[in-house]
C-alpha cells in the first residue's frame, strides 16, 4: 500500500500537472490555444440578496475555460476538494466569499491536502466572484 502511494504522488500527480498546468508552486501555464470568452449573465437571487446567483451552465463553462475541472469536481474530491465540501465548510462564514476569492488569486496548500493549488492572480475579480458564489451556493 505504501508503494502505491509513492507511485501515485511521484508519477500521477506530476502527470496531471504537465497535462493541465497545475504544477505546485508555479503559476498556471498559459493555454496554447486561444481562449474563447464566455458571456456570463449574473441574475439577482429570488430573495434579492446582495449576492447574485449563477447558473450551473454558466459556472461550468467558466470553470472549463479556466481549467478548474483538471483538479476539482462538484461532487467528489479529485486532486483538490469537491466544491460541495468547500461550500459546507464555509457556509456559515460571513467572510467566505473574500476567503475563497483570495485562495483563487493566491493558491495555497495544506488546508485540503498536500497538493498545492496554483494561484490565478490574472483572473479578473468578476470571474473569481462568479466561481466563488456558485461554489458557496452548493448544498
Query: Of 78, 77, 100, whose CA–CA distance to 87 is shortest?
Result: 100
Q: How far apart are CA 57 and CA 95, in angstroms?
A: 26
90 belongs to a structural domain:
yes
CA angle 8, 14, 19 (to 5 degrees): 120
22 belongs to a structural domain:
no
16 belongs to a structural domain:
no
Q: How far apart are CA 54 and CA 70, in angstroms?
A: 21
Does 89 have pLDDT greater than 50? yes
**The C-alpha cell of 39 is what?**
458571456
121 belongs to a structural domain:
yes
Q: How far apart are CA 17 and CA 22, in angstroms?
A: 4
71 belongs to a structural domain:
yes
Confidence of residue 83 (pLDDT cuts 50, 70, 90): very high
Query: Of 68, 64, 59, whose CA–CA distance to 135 is shortest?
Result: 59
Q: How far apart are CA 139 and CA 137, in angstroms?
A: 7
Range 4-26 average pLDDT: 49
| Helix ranges (DSSP H) in 11-138 | 13-20, 56-66, 83-90, 96-106, 125-137
59 belongs to a structural domain:
yes
Which burial class, exposed, middle or buried, applies to 39 when counting CB atoms under 10 A from its CB (0-12, 13-18, 19+)? exposed
Question: Residue 17: its pLDDT value, please?
Answer: 53
Tally of domains within the chain: 1
The mean predicted confidence, pLDDT, of the chain is: 76
125 belongs to a structural domain:
yes
Claim: this prediction has a pTM higher than 0.85? no
54: domain CATH number is 1.10.760.10
Contact between residue 67 and residue 21 where contact means Cβ atoms under 8 Å apart: yes
Amino acid at each position: 500500500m505504501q508503494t502505491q502511494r509513492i507511485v501515485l504522488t511521484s508519477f500521477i500527480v506530476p502527470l496531471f500537472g504537465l497535462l493541465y498546468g497545475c504544477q505546485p508552486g508555479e503559476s498556471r501555464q498559459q493555454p496554447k490555444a486561444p481562449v474563447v470568452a464566455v458571456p456570463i449573465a449574473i441574475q439577482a437571487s429570488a430573495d434579492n440578496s446582495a449576492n447574485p446567483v449563477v447558473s450551473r451552465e454558466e459556472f461550468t463553462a467558466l470553470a472549463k475555460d479556466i481549467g478548474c475541472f483538471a483538479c476539482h469536481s462538484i461532487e467528489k474530491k479529485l486532486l483538490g476538494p469537491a466544491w460541495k465540501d468547500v461550500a459546507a465548510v464555509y457556509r456559515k462564514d460571513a467572510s467566505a466569499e473574500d476567503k475563497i476569492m483570495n485562495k483563487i488569486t493566491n493558491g495555497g496548500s495544506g488546508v485540503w491536502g498536500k497538493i498545492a493549488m496554483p494561484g490565478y492572480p490574472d483572473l479578473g475579480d468578476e470571474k473569481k466572484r462568479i466561481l466563488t458564489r456558485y461554489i458557496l451556493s452548493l448544498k
